[in-house]
Amino acid sequence: MSRRPASADFSQRVAARFASAAQTYDDHSGVQRHAAEKLAGLIATAALPPRPRVLEIGCGTGHLTRLLGLHLPGAYILASDIAPAMVAACRARLPQFDYAVLDGTCPTVPGPFDLICANLAAQWFADLPAALDGLARRLAPGGVLALSLLGADTFCEWRAAHVKLGLTAGTLHFSAANACRAAFPVEGDLQLAVEQHVDQPDSALGFLRGLQAIGADTAAPGHRPLSAAQLRAVLRELGATPRMSYELIYARWRRTP
């Protein structure tokens, strides 16, 4: 489902975890870097106006931000993140752009923008259709909303190991591609593609530590943490050299001129 409990507490927990990971993010965000490159390629073919106005949601340490500067020379780029420490890290790396700390579900910056984009951030939105509608309203006529986000098959091996042991995984339930498609406003042109990307961490425990290192380990609201014994059982079930699937959804929606 694309909708989850919309609580200020959950948003604050997400922001706090990402803020705490600003210093370790770059060393463990290979999937995020891969998705940024794919999304940047999609944006590069979007036929934007010269010197477009760009708002990036969830900039992190700047994987997509850097590529926006390369693909869109002369653009005005406002990079934002819900975590102040991530904004600070991105600003230190790419000081030529403007920055803001804001929640992508209700950005407090005026438009219009020719491009609004987000790399692996929208899966954290409590209400994806409402968030996309709000972002679309900040686009200029003919403006583009370009996203990458995690799909429903992400971490299927992790969830399967829990199910086999009669346990429930604490990872968020990400939206299926059809739900993502339906979340975009009806009035506009949508292109959507799905990529199955497989990562192979050095160990099952390494997978968990990698999520912690990028701040992406916030559990679903209401999840009861596993005991130490239950967690060890899940890690054994995954095996010494697990494969971990990521369903990456790429979407480009253009507002009707």
**Alpha carbon distance 211, 216 (integer Å):** 5
Query: What does pLDDT average to over the chain?
Result: 93
Whether residue 187 is contained in a domain is answered as yes
Single out the residue of 65, 69, 55, 63 nearest to residue 116, CA to CA: 55
pTM of the model: 0.93
Sequence-distant (≥ 6) Cβ neighbours of residue 46 within 8 angstroms = 115, 144, 146, 252, 254
Single out the residue of 9, 118, 135 nearest to residue 65, CA to CA: 118
Whether residue 2 is contained in a domain is answered as no
Whether residue 1 is contained in a domain is answered as no
Whether residue 64 is contained in a domain is answered as yes
Q: Is the pLDDT of residue 2 over 70?
A: no
* CATH number of 88's domain: 3.40.50.150
Query: ω before 112 within 30° of 0 (cis)?
Result: yes
pLDDT of the residue at 8: 66
Tally the domains of the chain: 1
Residue-number span of the structural domain to which 29 is assigned? 8-255
Q: Is the pLDDT of residue 19 over 70?
A: yes
Whether residue 3 is contained in a domain is answered as no
Residues 179-233: tens digit of each pLDDT:
999 999 999 999 999 999 999 999 999 999 999 999 888 888 888 999 999 999 9
